[in-house]
Amino acid sequence: MIRWRDPRAPLAAAAATGVAGFAAALLTGAPALVTGATTGVLTALLAAVSLVFASFRNAPATRPATRWLASGAGVWLLGVALRPFAVSVSFVVTFADLLVLVGIVLMAGGCVLAAARPTHPQAALRQLVDAYLSTASLFLIGWVVALRPIYTEFDDPTAFAIAMLPPMICLLVTCAVAPAAVTARSALWPVGLAGFGVLATATVGEMASAMARLSGDVPPRWSLLLAPVAFLLLAAVPWSGRAGRTADAGDEEARPPAGPVVATLIAAVPLALVVAATLTLLLHLMGGRDRAPVAGVAAVAVSIVLVLAVRLFVLLTAHARMRHLVVLGERQLRELAERTGDVVLLCDYEGVVREIGSGVEVTYGYRPGEVVGASILDYIHPEDVPGIKAALDRMGLDEDTAEPGACMIACRVRAADGTWRPTESVATRHIRGEELLLVTTRDVSDEEALRNQVVHLTFHDGVTGLPNRAYFEERTREVLDGRVSGRTAVIFLDLDGFTAVNDSVGHASGDYLLGQAARRLRGAVRSDDTLARWGGDEFAVLVEVGAEAQVAVDLAERLVRAVSQEPFRVADRDIALTASVGVAFAEDGLPAGDLIRNADVAMARAKELGGRRVEVFAAQMHADVVRRLELAADLQRALIENQFAVEYQPVVDLATSRVTAVEALVRWWRGSAFVPPEQFLGPAEDTGLIVPLGEWILREACRDVAAWRASSWDIGLSLNLSARQITAPRFVETVEEALAESGLPASALTLEVIEEMLVEDAEETISRLSELRALGVRLAIDDFGTGYASLAFLRQLPVDMIKIDPSFVSGLGRDDTLTLLTRTIVRLGHDLGLIVVAEGIERPEQLELLREMGCTRGQGYLVARPMAARGVDSLMRTNLTSLGS
C-alpha cells in the first residue's frame, strides 16, 4: 500500500474524516457497491480471457493489439478487486488506484495498436497537445458544473488535486486515443473502438469514484455498471463476424478512410471544447460567484492559453516553412525543366501569358518580355487552335466538374524564324493568389523527324527507296476496295540471273544494281502507277487506272526493255540482265492477295519459259498447279522417308563472342540432290504440309538443344514460324508437348514470326502468340523493318526480341542512311527493353559497327555458317573448354 503523508494536522484530520465517511458509505451501501465491483471484475476477466484466445486466431500482425488490451483489462480488474482492501488511513489514493491507472494505459496502448496508424513524431505531439486541451477544457467545465461545491466542502487544495489526478490521467489518455480509435481503418478497428469505449466508461467511473471519495458518498449505481457493459462489448467484438473475418483475412484496410468532413470535425473538437470551457467560465464569473478563481483553476486556464499560443506559433512557423518550400520547389522545377530544354510558363484560362522562363529564347527564339502579356493562341498553328481552346475550357471548369490531373496537349508552335515546331505540353492547375495554368512545353522536332524516318523505313525499301511489299499489298487492297469502274492490273517483274550477280560481285554490288534497276523502272512507269520492290530481285507495279489489256501489256514490255536495253555498270564491269514479267488483271470479287498471286504465277511461268518475256495470267496455267502438286507429293514422301535434316546457325553475343543460341534451319536432300528451302517451303506452306514438317523440326531441334543444355551449355533455340503453323488447331499444345518430351525449358525456346503475319488475321495470330507467351516461350519479330506491322503491334504482342533484316546490315559502313536506320532500330529495341539480333553479318566492319551501336547479338556467315548437329557438338566442346580455361 502506498501512503502520502502530510505534516499538517488539519490535512490529516480532513483525510481521516474522508476515510471514515467512505467506510461508513461502504458499510451502508455494501450490496450495491460489492455487486458493481464484482460485476466489473468478472466482465474485465471475461474480456481479458476472450482477447487472449482471440489473439491466437488472428493474423500475427494483429496479435499485439489484443494482447495489450487483455493485459490492460487484467491489471484493471486486479486494481478494482483490491480497492475494498486497500483503503488508506492517511489519504484517498491507494495502491489499487495505481493498478487501475496502469490498466488504463495498457488498454490505451492496445487501442493505438489496433488502429495500426503510422504516426510521425510531429503528429503524435500534436495529438498530445489536443488531448491536453480537451482534458483541461473538460476539467474547467466540470469544475463549474460539479467540482466547485465539492472542493468548497473539502477545503484542502492538495488533497483535492491528488484525488482528482487519477481520473484526469484517465481522461487525458482517453482523449489522446480517441482520434486513432475513431478513424482506424485496420482489420481490428471494431476491437479498438470497443477498447476506447472501455476507456471512456472507466474514466467516467473513476471520476464518479473520486467525487464520491471526496464527498464521503457512495458512487452512483449507474457509474458502477458502465465499465461492465463496455467490457462485455469488448469481450464479444473479437468474435463478431466482421472483426473475425477481417482479422483472419489479414486485410490491412477493413473499412474506407474517414472523409474530409470527419477529419475536420475531429480536428475541431479540442478547439470547440476550449471555446465551451471559456464560455462556461465567463458565464460563471459573470454570475458574481467566485470572482477570484482558485489558483489551480486559474493555472489550468492560463496553461490552455499558453498551449494554444504555442500551437498557433508552431502552425504559423510550419505554414511559413511550407510556403518557402513551395516557392523553392517551383523555382527548382522551373530550373530543372529549362535545363532539360523545356519551356515553363504560367497563363490564365484565356491563354494570356503571365510568366515564362528564359528557355523560350533558346528553344523558339523569343525574348521572355515579348511573350509575357500575349496570348499563347497567337503562336499556335491555326489548325490546332480549336483543340487548344477546348483544352483551356475543360481546365477552366468548376472543381466539381473539371477533369482531374494534368492535360496533355500536342500542337505546332511558330518559332521566331517562322518555322512551325511540333511540341508536346503538359498543363496543370497552379494556385498563386489566383488560379492559373502551369504549362511545360517541349520541342519534339527531333523526335518527330525520327518517327517519320522510322515510318518511312517501315513502308519503304532501304536499298532502292521504293515502297516495300507491305505498302504495295495495302495499296492494292485500297485500290480494289475503292474501284468503281475500269480495270486494274498488277505486274510482277523478276531480274533474270540476279543470283549470279551476288555470287560474283557480292551483295553490296548487287544492292547497287537493284538501285539502278529501280531508277530505270521508275522512269518507265506512269505517274499514276505504284512501283514497289517486292523482295529480293522482284519488283511489282500496280496499274491503278486505265489498265486495259493492251495498255498493261505495253507497260510490261517497256519494263522488259528498260532492264535489258543496256548493261548495268557495277564494280567496274558491265552486267547484262533480262527480266521475266507476269501480268494479272483484277476481276469482280477477286481479293488483292489473289490478284498479286496471279501476277506472281504468271511471272514464274515467264521465267520457266526462259525469261525476257511477258506472260499474262490465264486460267489455263494449270501446269504450275500440277508441278506444285507433284512437289507436295514429294514433300509428303520426304516426311515419311526422313529425307529432311536440321542444321543450326549459331547466334552469338557480339560483346563476348559466346554462342547464346542456335537457329534451326531445315534442309531437304532428295536422294543425292539438295533442294534449296526457297523451292519447297512455299509449296509446303500452300499445301499445309508445313504443319507436320514444322512439328518434326520443332521436336528434333528441342531434343538436340536439350541434350546440349544437359552438358552444362546454356544455349537457346530459335525457330521460324509460318502462318499455317500458327493457325493450326493444336499448335500451342504441340509446342507444349515438344518441350515436355525433350525437357527443354520454355524460356530457352524463341519462336520467330515475320511482320506481315501480324497483318493477315491479326487478331487470331496475336491470340495464338499470346498463348505461347503464357507458356514461357519467347517471341521474336524476324526481318524487322521490312514490313509495317511492328510499330502497330509491339504494344499488343509481348515480344522479347527483334531481328534486324539483313538488307539493313548489308549497308553498314557503306550506306550512311542504312547505317543511321540500323542505329535507330537498335536504339528503339533498347528503349522498348527488347533483345536486338542482327542478321546477315558478313563483313568485319559490319560486326564492329554493330558492337559500337550496342547491338547485343548477331548471326551470319562471318560469325558462323549453318552446321549439322555434329558441328554444334564440336562447337559446344570448344565453347565449354574456353569457358573452363
Please give the average pLDDT of every successive group of 10 residues along the chain, which has 885 residues: 36 34 39 60 83 76 79 84 64 73 86 74 78 84 80 73 84 85 76 83 83 75 77 80 48 57 76 83 70 66 80 80 78 66 84 86 89 91 90 67 66 92 87 76 87 84 91 92 78 91 86 93 91 93 82 91 90 90 89 90 88 85 63 84 91 90 91 84 83 92 92 89 87 93 93 78 80 91 70 70 90 88 90 90 92 92 89 76 50
The pTM of this model reads 0.40
Q: What are phi and psi of 208, to 5 degrees?
A: -65, -40
Question: 147, 195, 201: which is closest to 171 by C-alpha?
Answer: 201
Contact yes or no for 266/179 (Cβ under 8 A)? yes
Q: Give the integer Cα–Cα distance in Å for 199 and 174.
A: 6
For residue 653, the surrounding DSSP H or E stretch is strand 644-653
Q: Give the integer Cα–Cα distance in Å for 176 and 164.
A: 18
Contact yes or no for 514/533 (Cβ under 8 A)? yes
Q: Give the integer Cα–Cα distance in Å for 789 and 758.
A: 6
Cα 665 → chain centroid: 39
The pLDDT of residue 474: 92
The burial of 237, by beta-carbon neighbours within 10 Å (0-12 exposed, 13-18 middle, 19 or more buried), is given as: buried
The pLDDT of residue 8: 34
Q: What is the DSSP letter of 755?
A: G
For residue 248, the surrounding DSSP H or E stretch is helix 241-249
The pLDDT of residue 27: 38
Q: Give the integer Cα–Cα distance in Å for 866 and 736.
A: 26
Which grid coordinates belong to 780? 521474336
Which grid coordinates belong to 636? 509428303
Q: Give the integer Cα–Cα distance in Å for 851 and 843.
A: 13
The pLDDT of residue 540: 96
Strand extents, DSSP E, 144-230: none
- Measured CA distances, 734 to 658, 738, 741 (Å): 31, 6, 10
Q: What are phi and psi of 111, to 5 degrees?
A: -65, -40
Question: 236, 161, 172: which is closest to 199 by C-alpha?
Answer: 172
816-820-825 Cα angle (round to 5) = 145
Contacts of 560 (CB under 8 A, 6+ apart): 493, 578, 579, 581, 612, 613, 614
- Measured CA distances, 427 to 209, 364, 447, 883 (Å): 64, 19, 21, 56
The residue written with cell numbers 518559332 in the block is 415
